[in-house]
Chain A
Amino acid sequence: MQKAKGKVISVNESLVGTQITQGAVMNGEVAYIIIEDGKRLKAEVIDIKGGNKVYLQVFEDTGWMRVGDPVEFTGLPLAVKLGPGILGSVTDGLQNPLYELGEIDWFLERGLEVDPLDNTKEWYFTPMVEKGNIVTGGSILGSVPEKLFEHKIFVPFSLQENYTIDHIVEKGDYTIDEVIATIVDSSGKKMELKMAFEWPVKQPMPFKERSVPTKPMPTGIRILDALFPIAYGGTACNPGPFGAGKTVLQHSLARHSQADVVIIAACGERAGEAVEVFKDFPELIDPRTGKSLMDRTYIVGNTSSMPVAAREASVYMATSVGEYYRKQGLNVLILADSTSRWAQALRETSGRKEEIPGPEAFPMYISTLISAFYDRAGVEILGNGDMGSLSIIGTVSPAGGNFDEPVTQATLLSTGAFWGLSRALSDARKYPAIDRIDSKSKYPSLLKQEEVSYLLDLLRDGKTIASNIILMGEKGITDASYIRYQKAELLDAVFLQQNSFHEVDGVTHPDRLRSMFEMVKEVIDTPVDIKGKESIRSHFNFIRQAFLDWNYMGQDEAGIEKQQTKLLNLIKHRGYVAENI
């Protein structure tokens, strides 16, 4: 296809109209607008109209653009470069590495492009095929060690035929720009392959074979692992008003989730939050690998003050990278914060295109885009018994904290777990402020199903009794109800609430979750033979105190056994123990 050329005919913020002067244009292809000072502003074709008019959304500020400025089309869709070197990096929404950009300028000046992957670094390549072998897109040519694991080098996924290996390099150090293999197709045409290749970000990578998410992914967050779990390959959303703890929850998940690779898509959110991650993580040691947390992390950020049009790109960029690492046979987790900002970016562009608006001025197709995005998560069976998974946890920031708005509703339809964040709970400092009653998950818990129901029943009872207390006062309910209420409160205080800033309490390993659950069950199952609300409350206060002290003690800390015994004694202390009577 001949690459098209054109000229700017209109400018309206990020939407730029162009007139094509030569060549054919593809919807979704990348174009560059060259402004007066020679800067090349990256853009994407989003609309093709009659009379050779093509509309672009520009990924940069359009200030100083003029009618008549030349436009060069590339013929290629927006793509991500896939290959070794992604892990540990921080890029903007168009995969420009931020640290490298930082060497050029303090500010994110427009028109700067840097190679997404380091092309000077040498990787030690070990071939796994020989001359004469038949390969196709997705076949493994060899591997290089990357951070924590062996990074497989694939035949680019876009090559769909069968090819014969004509040449493969010896074991040794190569950069991603060097040719490592030559393949020949059936017509005898030769192709040179390198360790990195491109993939169009908006196109979901096909599954080799898809399976369903059934294995819970431990997150270290008790309320999730016990009551509202996410599975490897599953999807979850956490909508909530501002200040209810979405960000802290996302950071906890990024640190403690038992995934091999964590991708953080900071989409239209505060820059400071991404900074906390990429400046803290290199210093933090992941206890499961003994290596820096950053080694398993990739951050793609289009924060709220960066050009709006690139927000959408950042989400898809993250997803494509996630799919690529799933093909590596790894468990990948994407944290997308926030999908609402992405939807708002679409709304802005849609408004400028003068499309007929849907509810709250969001474009009509918003729900389709959201569902298609979450559908890229899943479990993939890769052959040779290998599996990979991609889980997506998306934050939603509903206007006014009201879940009855288009983005939240579309997201609820597309995700398997719903963690509703509640301002009432965060005001009461009951963190994580995930609604105990309304949240849901269709994935299996680390606890048994009947144990989950057992806890949820108590929570529901507790809520009913609490509202009775408000109506009738403590004196208006029986001691038995009051004891049930105190048990529900205790369950909340010592098990569901978690101090994510505490070294020990901030993350709960599945084994410890089990022993904490057993202890909670001990409290719930022990009948309490105490008369009078004051005494009942005091009894539970002592248990709570001892329980919290126990929670804050490390598994190997001196005195934890003693504390556990103390706690058990307290539980039994004024409990109804039949044999003592």
Chain B
Amino acid sequence: MLQKTYENIDSIGRAILGIKAQGVHNKELAEVIYPNGHRAFAQVIALDGDQVTLQLFGGGFGVSTDCKVRFMGKPIQVGFSDDMLGRVYSGNGRPIDNGPELLTDMVRVAGPSINPVKRLIPKDMIRTGVPMIDVFNTLVRSQKIPIFAKAGEPYNRLLANIATQTDADVIIIGGVGLKYDEFHYFRERIEEAGSKNKTIMFVHTHRDSIVEGLMVPDLALAVAEQFALQGKNVFVLLSDMTQWSDYLRQVANAQDQIPANQGYPGDLYSQLASRYEKAADIEGAGSLTILGVTTMDDVTHPVPDNTGYITEGQFYMKDGYLELFGSLSRLKQQVNDRTRSDHRSIMNAMARLLSEAEERVKAQKFGSVKDDYSLRLLEYRKTFQSELMDPFRYLELEDALDLCWDILAQHFKKEEVGLSSKLIDTYWPEKGMFKILKETSYE
């Protein structure tokens, strides 16, 4: 195809370039050629007559009116091959680990969604060894679920743990707006766990342009989707999607889009959804599971809010603990009836009691908590937190369930826990017969 070069640049913005050109395709890939011969990628994002608007991967800084633009006659693509395993790429798809460029097949990026009839109902539990996940908010293959946390919480550690402790065939890390030390941490953890040869990283750090950051999830997911279609169970880790949304906001703003909430574009929901929806258990093939990070201060902020409506739950991390309230796995019901007969019931009972205890915490501030039952609830809450909420305590699901029974028996009478008599007869441990919990006396 004829690749024509244009020289008449009209306008240059923060990440946007306007030029007059003909025969250009929407979403076409282009190259900006600097006077010194340096080249940077750009993509067509709007057409109006012969006015073409391009998004600059390298940002607008340093682009001059005497740059040239060459349209490449193809959409954005990313390489795909098994040789990419173990490698590290940037947000424009080039290797940044000093390894060789690979000549690989190219696959499309941000393609259409998979036909829903080709999706399977997710039904395989992923055992993570994290009690708050396995017992209370079970992770299921093909789930899309982020960690909601304040910046600075150890979410990347949990992400790396889950990815390496489970049975993923391929791990793809999409780092958006990573600090260099976070990037380094991921790389180290993956190597320590011996998972390097099944991992591909697409990394955007703060020194790279925001448009490259925007590309990272698309590249990561396009490659992941190909592995999944080949029958692999793929884990995609996306950290941090709040940064990503912020870049989206910046670019939308540069294009004079009318902002909806807090300056975010009106299509924030659709933009996030088209990425997260790539998660799927595919009929006759593999699966794609997405674990993300959404940093936040307040869950009603547009990014966690829109994310919550899209993802299949979230893990809420606070002060280093995985919280029960605020966390949710929408797919847990698909699997937790096939684990152990007490799983669902004890999960609900523990939660109900904890919520009762939370009310007492409020009441405690008024100094009105004096009765024995309320005091026991408060003690129960303490035990719950110390025994179960540590995201880095490793327990098999069955042990974690036994621990729940121990905790209940420690603090309550049988009739106080609201469980069916059948379950109580089977599982209620007598004093001195605890399986996991070290018994202490509260007399």
Contacts and interface: CB of A to CB of B under 8 A. Distances in A.
B95 interface: no
Contacts of A383: none
Interface string B358-398: 01001100111111111000000000000000000000000
B112 A61 contact: yes
B119 interface: yes
Contacts of B62: none
Given A63-B27, A108-B113, A470 B47 contact: no
A242 B25 CA distance: 39
B198 to A, nearest CB: 24
A470 B368 contact: yes
A67 B115 contact: no
A63 B116 CA distance: 22
A287 interface: no
B48 A17 contact: yes
A545 B117 contact: no
Given A66-B23, A67-B50, A473 B368 contact: yes
A501 B116 contact: no
Interface stretch (A121-129, A195-203, A395-403): A395-403
B114 interface: yes
Given A303-B113, A501-B344, A66 B24 contact: yes
B117 A99 contact: yes
A493 interface: yes
A428 B352 contact: yes
Contacts of B26: 11, 62-66
A106 B277 contact: no
A192 B33 CA distance: 64
Interface stretch (A72-80, A274-282, A412-420, A442-450): A274-282
Contacts of A272: 119, 121-122, 142, 280, 312, 331
B318 interface: no
B28 interface: yes
A400 B303 CA distance: 10
Nearest to A470: B363
Interface string A253-274: 0000000000000001011101
A1 interface: no
B118 interface: yes
A106 to B, nearest CB: 5
Interface in A58-116: 61-68, 90, 98-99, 101-102, 105-110
A99 to B, nearest CB: 5
B48 A303 contact: no
A532 to B, nearest CB: 10
Contact of A271 (B50, B260, B277): B277
A532 B273 CA distance: 54
Interface in A411-455: 427-429
A399 to B, nearest CB: 6
Given A341-B269, A344-B270, A470-B368, A98 B28 contact: no
Contact of A400 (B49, B282, B305): B305
Contact of A552 (B266, B267, B330, B420): B420
Interface residues of B, number: 84
Interface string B241-274: 0000000000000000111110001110110011
B47 A66 contact: yes
B10 interface: no
B277 A270 contact: yes
Interface string A528-558: 0000011001100110110011001000000
Contacts of A166: none
A279 B115 CA distance: 13
A152 to B, nearest CB: 30
B113 A271 contact: yes
A37 B179 CA distance: 43
Interface in B37-89: 46-50, 75
Given A402-B300, A429-B355, A106 B418 contact: no
Nearest to A501: B333
B115 A98 contact: yes
Contacts of B117: 90, 98-99, 101-102, 275, 278
B425 interface: no
A304 B328 CA distance: 20
Contacts of B331: 272
A64 B73 CA distance: 10
A271 B311 CA distance: 11
Given A61-B112, A303-B113, A534-B371, A243 B308 contact: yes
Contacts of B282: 106
A120 interface: no
A360 B273 contact: no
B192 interface: no
A247 B333 CA distance: 13
B421 interface: yes
Nearest to B418: A544
Contacts, number: 232
B368 A305 contact: no
Interface in A338-382: 341, 344-345, 347-348, 351, 354, 357, 360-361
B292 interface: no
Contacts of A146: none
Contacts of B367: 473
Contacts of B265: 351
A67 B49 contact: yes
Interface in B117-175: 117-122, 142
B242 to A, nearest CB: 15
A304 B113 CA distance: 9
Given A9-B49, A36-B25, A271-B277, A470 B113 contact: no
A549 B420 contact: yes
Nearest to B421: A549
A358 to B, nearest CB: 11
A270 B114 CA distance: 12
B188 interface: no
A474 interface: yes
Interface in B274-313: 274, 277-278, 280, 282, 300-302, 305-306, 308-310, 312-313
Nearest to B117: A102
Given A301-B116, A308-B267, A400-B300, A347 B344 contact: no
Contacts of B120: 275, 279
A402 B300 CA distance: 9
Nearest to B416: A541
Interface in A292-351: 301, 303-306, 308, 341, 344-345, 347-348, 351
B236 to A, nearest CB: 15
B415 A347 contact: no
Interface in B5-21: none
Contacts of B330: 243, 247
A10 interface: yes
A534 B309 contact: no
A472 interface: yes
Contacts of A354: 258
Given A304-B270, A400-B305, A501-B344, A475 B370 contact: yes
Given A400-B300, A427-B355, A361 B258 contact: yes
B351 interface: yes
Nearest to B268: A344
B339 interface: no
Contact of A473 (B22, B300, B333, B370): B370
Contacts of A341: 269
A469 interface: yes
Contact of A108 (B25, B115, B372): B115
10 contacts: A11-B46, A63-B75, A66-B26, A108-B115, A272-B280, A279-B121, A304-B310, A308-B267, A347-B260, A548-B418
List of 4 A-B pairs having minimum Cβ-Cβ separation, nearest first:
A473-B368, A400-B300, A304-B273, A305-B277
Given A64-B28, A106-B118, A472-B366, 9 more contacts: A11-B48, A13-B46, A64-B27, A65-B26, A108-B114, A270-B310, A275-B116, A347-B266, A469-B363
